[in-house]
Amino acid sequence: MLLRVGKMVGGFLLLNVILLVYYTLKGAGEPYLRSALMQNIGYLSSWGGQEQTGGLPMGLLIRVAVGGVLALGLVGFKKKLGDGLVLLGLWFVGGMFGALLSERPYPHYLMEIVPPLCLLGGLMLGEKKKMRKMSAGLLIGGLILTVVVWKKYDFWEYKTVPYYKNYLSYVRGEKTKDEYFSYWGDHIDSNYRVAEEVEKRTEEEDKIFVWGTEPAIYYLSDRLPVGRYTVAYHVKDFNGYEETMEKIKKENPKIMLVLRNEGGEFEEFFEYLQGRYELEIVDEEWELWRRIGI
């Protein structure tokens, strides 16, 4: 048993060591370590201000305890359940723990528990009556726990049916393209407008910078960002001001965009912008600045 656990832990650590070595050789060891590991620690306690115990959120410690009890219970019934059901049970427990790691009420986090639940449902169709009963028991237990978790953490609900209605209305010609876009928000039409203007003024290999939180502009205009931060709040949250300015000065983009609903806390950027760029287009939702001399 200890040998199997050791192999599993060793395999997990080996992959991380390989990645760390790879990124270190590429000159990105410190950013990788900070982004992949250290930043996740703050992510656990950043939702709504949770009570701390020993530097860790109290809710996290409770979930560790509950998850540990459930996992030990599954292992304890290994002879009765068999390796396959224990594996699926542990998979479900681990997936649920991962989904609740930060206590964020995002429904898509629960995708982690869908595979084991589906496999348990499939085993209920097996030939052996004992296997069907045990699979059904684990599945029902998993579904009950999911409902309890959903209610306790007040998970949000994504209304998907209206999405399809909007799509079908557009396909059948009952809505214009603008009406279809407006369903998703006024900013969608704005993103397409600014992307069109960027494409007119730049070449495919040119990079741009958007100060705001609309990363879709990069995709719609088929232009890459000057650095790794594609939204303003990442620059703010990760204190990426200096790094971002270095990238802007290095790439010297032809076009820079400022979304009018974004705060102006980036003083060095705005000084650089106003000194080397001229305001070319003022839209209700964005400003397009063109580098002087091009």
Can you tell me the distance from the alpha carbon of 132 to that of 135, in angstroms, rounded to the nearest whole number? 5
Instruction: Give the chain's radius of gyration (CA, Å).
Output: 25
Kind of pairing between the strands at 207-211 and 255-259: parallel
CB atoms within 10 A of CB 155: 18
Looking at the predicted structure, is the pLDDT value of residue 42 above 70? no
Looking at the predicted structure, is the pLDDT value of residue 44 above 80? no
pLDDT at 56: 58
Q: How confident is the model at residue 243 (pLDDT cuts 50, 70, 90)?
A: very high
Give the mean model confidence (pLDDT) for residues 16-21.
91
Per-residue pLDDT tens digits for 175-192: 998 899 889 888 898 999
Can you tell me the distance from the alpha carbon of 39 to that of 169, in angstroms, rounded to the nearest whole number? 43
Of the candidates 46, 47, 20, the one whose C-alpha atom is nearest the C-alpha of residue 34 is: 20
pTM above 0.85, yes or no: no
Contact (Cβ atoms closer than 8 angstroms) between residue 139 and residue 121: yes
Identity of residue 194: V
Give the mean model confidence (pLDDT) for residues 231-257.
93
DSSP letter at 37? I
Looking at the predicted structure, is the pLDDT value of residue 32 above 90? no
Looking at the predicted structure, is the pLDDT value of residue 233 above 80? yes
What is the edge-to-edge ordering of all strands in the sheet holding 224-225?
224-225, 207-211, 255-259, 286-291, 277-282
Give the mean model confidence (pLDDT) for residues 5-19.
86
pLDDT at 48: 53
pLDDT at 128: 83
Report residue 7 as tokens.
Answer: 């192999």
